[in-house]
Amino acid sequence: MGFTPALHAEWIKIRTLRSLVGALCAMLSATVVFSALSAFSAGTETATDGDDLDPLFSALFGVNFGQIAAMAFATTAVSSEFRGGALRLSLAAVPHRGIWFAAKLTAIALPVLTVGLATGLVTVAVGSAVLGEKADALSTADCLRGALGCAAYLTLMALLAAGLTAVLRSGTAALSILVPFLLIVSFVVGDMSGNMADLLPDRAGQVVLHSTWQGTLGPWAGLAVTAAWTATAVAAGTWQLRHRDA
C-alpha cells in the first residue's frame, strides 16, 4: 500500500474515534476560553499596571492550555496502535514502516493545523474584543502572525508528542513527561538559565505569539527551533518503529 491509501486509512481511524474529535474541540475551546479570561484580566488592569502589557500574548495566552489538548490528540492517535495488536494489522496493510508512520503523522498534523488556524483566528478576535482599547496597538499584521503562529505552534507540539509516544510506546508516559515540563519545568528553567531557556521548544515556539520580544530568537526563528525539537522526536520515533518488533 502506498502513502495516499495509507493516509486515507489513518484519517478514517482518526475521524471515527470520538476521543480524538473531542481533543480537537477541546483544543479550540480551551484556547479561546483561557485567552478570553487572560484578556479580561489584562483589560481591567490600571494604566500603570498595564505598562508592560503584551496585547497579542494576552489575547493568545490560552494556547498554553490548548497545546495540552493538541498533544493529547497526537498521543492518543499514536498510542492506540500499541494496544491490542493494532500495529501488527496496520503494518500488515502497510509493510513499509516509514510510509505508515509518515501517513500517521500527516493524519495528525492536518486536522491540528486546520483546527489550530481556526483557533488562532477566533482567539485573536475574541481576545482583541475583550481587551478593548488596549488592543488598539495591534496591527492587522500582528493579528495575522499570531493566528498563523498559533496554528504552526500547536501542530509542531502535536507532532513532537506523536514522536515521543512512538519512542515510549505509551501516550500516558509521553504526556507524563510533556505536561509537567511545559507547565512547571520550563518556567523554572527559564527563571534560572536566562537565554538558554529561549531554546526550549515551548518558549521558542511561543515567541511568535508576542507583540514584542527581547530574547535571542525572533518569531520565525523560534518556530524553527521548535521544529528542530519536533524533527528530533519524530526521527527517534521512526528509528524505534523500524528497529523494534510490532
**C-alpha dist (Å) from residue 81 to 14, 77, 86, 148, 222:** 12, 8, 5, 31, 32
Domain of residue 45 covers: 3-243
pLDDT surpassing 90 at residue 116? yes
Output phi, psi for 48, to 5 deg. Answer: -70, -40
The cell for 130 is 475583550
Cα-trace Rg, the chain: 19
pLDDT surpassing 60 at residue 8? yes
CB-CB contact of 63 with 35 (8 Å): yes
Distance of CA 12 to the CA centre of its chain: 22
Question: Quick one: DSSP state of residue 85?
Answer: T
Of 13, 151, 25, nearest to 77 by C-alpha is: 13
First to last CA, the chain: 18
Average pLDDT over residues 230-244: 92
The percent of residues above 70 in pLDDT, for the chain, comes to: 93
State the Cα–Cα distance between residues 239 and 186, nearest whole angstrom: 27
Average pLDDT over residues 163-187: 88
pLDDT surpassing 80 at residue 189? no
Report residue 245's pLDDT band, with 50, 70 and 90 as the boundaries: low
pLDDT surpassing 80 at residue 85? no
**C-alpha dist (Å) from residue 17 to 80, 150, 154, 216:** 10, 25, 20, 41
pLDDT surpassing 70 at residue 46? no
Question: Quick one: DSSP state of residue 185?
Answer: I
Total domains, the chain: 1
Question: DSSP string covering 136-147, please?
Answer: TT--HHHHHHHH
Which bin fits 199, alpha (ψ -120 to 50), beta or left (φ > 0)? Answer: alpha
CB-CB contact of 59 with 124 (8 Å): yes
Most confident of the following: 42-56, 64-78, 132-146: 64-78
Report residue 41's pLDDT band, with 50, 70 and 90 as the boundaries: confident
Q: Read off the pLDDT of residues 127-149 as tens digits, 9 standing for 90 and up.
A: 999 988 888 888 899 999 999 99
The cell for 125 is 478576535
Q: What was the pLDDT predicted at 118?
A: 97
Q: What was the pLDDT predicted at 205?
A: 93
State the Cα–Cα distance between residues 186 and 24, nearest whole angstrom: 24
Report residue 84's pLDDT band, with 50, 70 and 90 as the boundaries: confident
User: Judging by beta carbons within 10 Å of its beta carbon (0-12, 13-18, 19+), is residue 92 exposed, middle or buried?
Assistant: exposed
